[in-house]
A and B are shown apart, each in its own frame.
Chain A
Amino acid sequence: MNARHLTIIMHKEFRGLFNERTILLAVLLQLFVAMFSSFLMVGLTSMYDPSSLSKYSRFRYSIAYAGNDSALREYLDASPDFNVYDMDLSPAVAALKERRLAAVIYAPDTAPDAVDPVKITLYTLQNDLQSAIVNVKLKDIFLKYEKDLRGVRAVRLGERPVPLQLPPSRGGGDFYEFVYGLLIPLLVFMPAIIASALVIDLITEEYQHETLETLISTPVSFAEIIWGKVLACELLVPVQAGAWLLLLLINGIPIRNVPLILLMVTLSSGIPILIGALTALHYRERTAAQFIFSTALVVVILFVLALPANPLNLLTRLAVGTAGMEQWIVLAGVIAIGALLSVATQWYAEKTGRQHHTG
């Protein structure tokens, strides 16, 4: 293996990429996904915890209370979120339709300690963001009321849950699991997938554009050609993953162990890239190679995700800073599999290379 030959091949591939400006598309893609994930984050949070958007919290929503008196009524009155009016059901619902109210509650005439449950009827607007917010706010009040009723009926309960006293909710921490437990591992690993699709393109292109003979007639060996392409793709991974992490850091998302994450991604991306190279060497035709490779990739990723302490999980734990000693074991495993695949690739490339020279 000649280092200069490898560099020549890598140069050739990078030049191709930059000439076509395809790399620009990849950058655009990153920005686009980043933009949409922020949209998703804000959207989901505002649905689950509307108070996280301060603009909603300063309003008092008008609601109507119909039917019989209950402890619920007191909770509603005490709440800073609601303005409660006593109304008859029919005009209240009509006012709701005209958006003069945010919700209507009807309470039945059921005693707190009755055998039957208390059935509250809640009228809200269909398909409406505001009523989604009102529902979330009402939920807290209903929960309090449920707790009271449960207390009244406690004598009728058999088994009790183990008591656990939680501190009052302080807000915050909503994005955390989404960002660290999903976004970061997926985004950081995406360059590896792109790179392995790329290596298939680079190899099959030589076959299908019939440019391989020219390349083989140079002093560069076939195995060197393959390794040059693999390394070119491999080099793109830390650059792209690093760009992701930088984008996230600029967005004010602190990430721990950045160098370790990059190391981890670069090493584990070797596995899909080598699988891609092997598939491409075998099929020499893009449609088949990409098809088999993407199916295989789905199988592998699903399998890996189902394993405890998998590399993707490790990325999460590195990013939040809870990774322990086991990270080195995982890393060693990844390197071992990568080494095995490298040997396989070398063997297959040499074999194919001999065929090309004789045939």
Chain B
Amino acid sequence: MGALTDIATIARWEVKRTLTQMSKDTLPLAIVLFVLLILVTGFAAQSGMHLQDGMYEAGVDDPAIAQLLASDNRFSVYQLDRATLEQNRQAFDIVVMEGKVYGSDTERAKSALKTVERDYAKYTNRVYNRQDDLYAAYPLWIDIQSVKSELDFLATQSGQYISARPGAVAPVPEGEVRAIPSPSPALGFSKEDLRRELAKSETANSQISRYTDMLSSDTATGRFRTPSQLSPPLPFDSIILIFVFIFPLYFTSQFFMMSIMNERIERKGEVLLSTPVKTTSIIIGKVLPYLIGMIAISAALTVYLKASLLIMLPLIPVIFFFLANALIIGMVSRSFKELSFISIFFSTVATSYLFFPSIFANVHVISLISPLTLIILTLQGTAYTFTDYLFSTSLFWLTSAVLFYVAVANFKEEQLFSEKRLLIRIREFIAESLSRTHPFVSLFLLNGFAIPFVFMVQLMCLVLFFNLPMPYSLLLLLIFAAEIEELVKAIGIYTLSEQDTAFLSWKNLFFACAATAIGFLVGEKLLLFITLTQITESIFGSILFLSLGVLWMPLALHFAGVFIVACALKFWGRAGLVPGLVAATAVHCLYNLYFILGWLT
């Protein structure tokens, strides 16, 4: 009960302080700025974005076509007579003479040609859509039926060719054939419905409107498309919408970082620490207002956008992740500059991790490593399973939990008010989370709990290398995955040896390595067991998480890797760390290569 009151008190303080700080003279200006923001958004919606204006230059002899091109801001259009055009052909990216388009051979001209192509298609669509006889203008409709493959991820890595090589005879399915009724030739939609849908997809390219009414524009005609609409569905609108959700989270976590930093400036937080309140209560109390604020903002946005509240499910672990990182960043940075740079760095990395995979939401299972993909799916009305949810959010839950623990362990005077360098501080933070009396248990736990971070980084590499040509992507992934694992395993032993150089006796060294290796292995297995079955079945997965079979082999590998590093540390001290890591990575890579090659043949 006491803890709860403490938390409530601290949360109240936090809110009060932020509010008094803000209301002094920030609030009036903030309100003015928000009004301005709304006005400017309106203005921008009216006038459009003018980032790419005048990128291309076009020479045209026909006023009708000149008008057509000029409606696209990207073109600077010059209407000239034929002779002049003929003479100055090289001065333009594209030249249109007597209804024929000529492009020069530069990259810019090629891009201009593509733009003309798209503009012209849009224009013809507009004309056709006005026709009375809609089925004369749009005689062909495609009904797309998605079929779920039974062999899902296994066969589809990076879209390479897996289906059987074309033979002379038609393939015969091995499994059971379920009877599929012949589709009816009727569309099942009235002409007016279709016309409205076409008109919508035509305006869908106007610059701002497509973001604002994306939720209401859930297609009335469903899967029916004309051939020109048959592109892979890039969930661009939902992605933009996601920024609407993520942006307030950045802002709020900035406030939280600053609040933590403020406690440390000139030791203002000392008073708080000298009270009998437990550190857990202090931290929970400080986090609580921001947590509630973030959830409230997201919920309000969801309601405002009339989206399903299910969006909140994948968003909450992301919120925790942001708060946990903000807490740590606020605790480690020494100055405002450092705070700014680290937070910018963190938000870029986090955005990339969250954002880029979700682009492929409709294309590939890999996109599920980002919880945002689940939000996109919810927005689109596609269902996802509980396993999907576990798969994409478990790493966020786990890493947040670990970071909060580290923060609680370090929330004390000597850590908060030290002015040491960033890396040293991080090392001290880790050291503080390790128990002096039970170093081996600590090492075991440290490595077990480091696994979610390792997976996160490795998955990021997977996304990063996913689109490189096949042998290179595998090779890079191989090296990076090994490197990351060895680095993480070395951290614990390095920290212990830095604290106490006498620690690395041969006996201790052996036990430390064993604890590290076992901790790593157990963490890996547990997490794999819960979540990552989807990825582990692919060839990429087999590099990252190679070790599903026999247990003693990977254990020996982990032990050998960390043993090499530990020996290097014992003989050469700190200078031995990098060479030790390189050697361990090499061994790790060779081991993986051996198994991959064996696996391939």
Contacts and interface: CB of A to CB of B under 8 A. Distances in A.
Interface residues of B, number: 152
Contact of A295 (B34, B76, B133): B34
A120 B131 contact: no
Given A121-B145, A130-B159, A202-B337, A161 B50 contact: no
A119 B156 CA distance: 29
Interface in A80-94: 83, 85-87, 89-91, 93-94
A215 interface: no
Given A173-B110, A176-B110, A295-B33, A181 B99 contact: no
18 contacts: A22-B337, A26-B341, A32-B352, A62-B166, A97-B147, A98-B149, A100-B171, A119-B142, A126-B146, A129-B363, A142-B227, A167-B101, A173-B108, A176-B107, A291-B254, A292-B26, A299-B33, A313-B51
Nearest to B130: A159
Nearest to A116: B135
Interface stretch (B112-120, B440-448, B559-567, B577-585): B112-120
A247 interface: no
B10 to A, nearest CB: 18
A292 B159 contact: no
A341 interface: no
A154 interface: yes
B284 to A, nearest CB: 21
Interface residues of A, number: 146
The 5 closest A-B pairs by CB, nearest first: A129-B159, A173-B110, A176-B111, A108-B185, A142-B227
B336 A125 contact: no
B50 A157 contact: no
Interface stretch (A193-201, A258-266, A331-339): A193-201
B389 interface: no
Contact of A117 (B138, B150, B173, B258): B138
A237 to B, nearest CB: 15
A2 interface: no
Interface in A247-298: 283, 285-288, 290-292, 294-296, 298
A28 B177 contact: no
B26 to A, nearest CB: 5
Contacts of A85: 169-171
Nearest to A176: B111
A28 to B, nearest CB: 7
A25 B107 contact: no
A312 interface: yes
Most-contacted residue by chain A among B162, B234, B352 (CB, 10 A): B352
A165 interface: yes
A46 B161 CA distance: 14
Interface string A134-173: 0110110011011001101110111111111111011111
A313 B50 contact: yes
Contacts of A127: 152, 362-365
B173 A99 contact: no
Interface in A36-61: 36, 39-40, 42-44, 46-48, 55-56, 59-61
Contact of B334 (A20, A169, A307, A308): A20
A120 B140 contact: yes
Contact of B173 (A100, A120, A135, A163): A100
B501 interface: no
B56 interface: yes
A78 interface: no
A106 B182 contact: yes
A3 interface: no
A136 B232 contact: yes
B240 interface: no
Contacts of A101: 163, 171
Contacts of B230: 135, 138-139, 142
Contacts of A20: 334-335, 337-338, 421-422
B186 interface: yes
Most buried by B among A22, A93, A204, A322: A22
A48 B76 CA distance: 26
Given A22-B337, A47-B234, A91-B177, A98 B150 contact: yes
A39 B467 contact: yes
A117 B341 CA distance: 59
A243 interface: no
A124 B144 contact: yes
Interface string B255-270: 1001101100110000
A6 to B, nearest CB: 19
A66 B57 CA distance: 47
A8 interface: no
Given A201-B337, A306-B50, A150 B137 contact: yes
Contacts of B232: 47-48, 132, 135-136
A249 to B, nearest CB: 15
Contacts of B115: 177
B101 A164 contact: yes
Contacts of A33: 348, 352
A28 B163 CA distance: 41
A167 B120 CA distance: 13
B341 A46 contact: no
Contact of B231 (A93, A139, A169, A181): A139
A201 B76 CA distance: 43
Contacts of A223: none
B341 A25 contact: yes
Contacts of B251: 291, 294
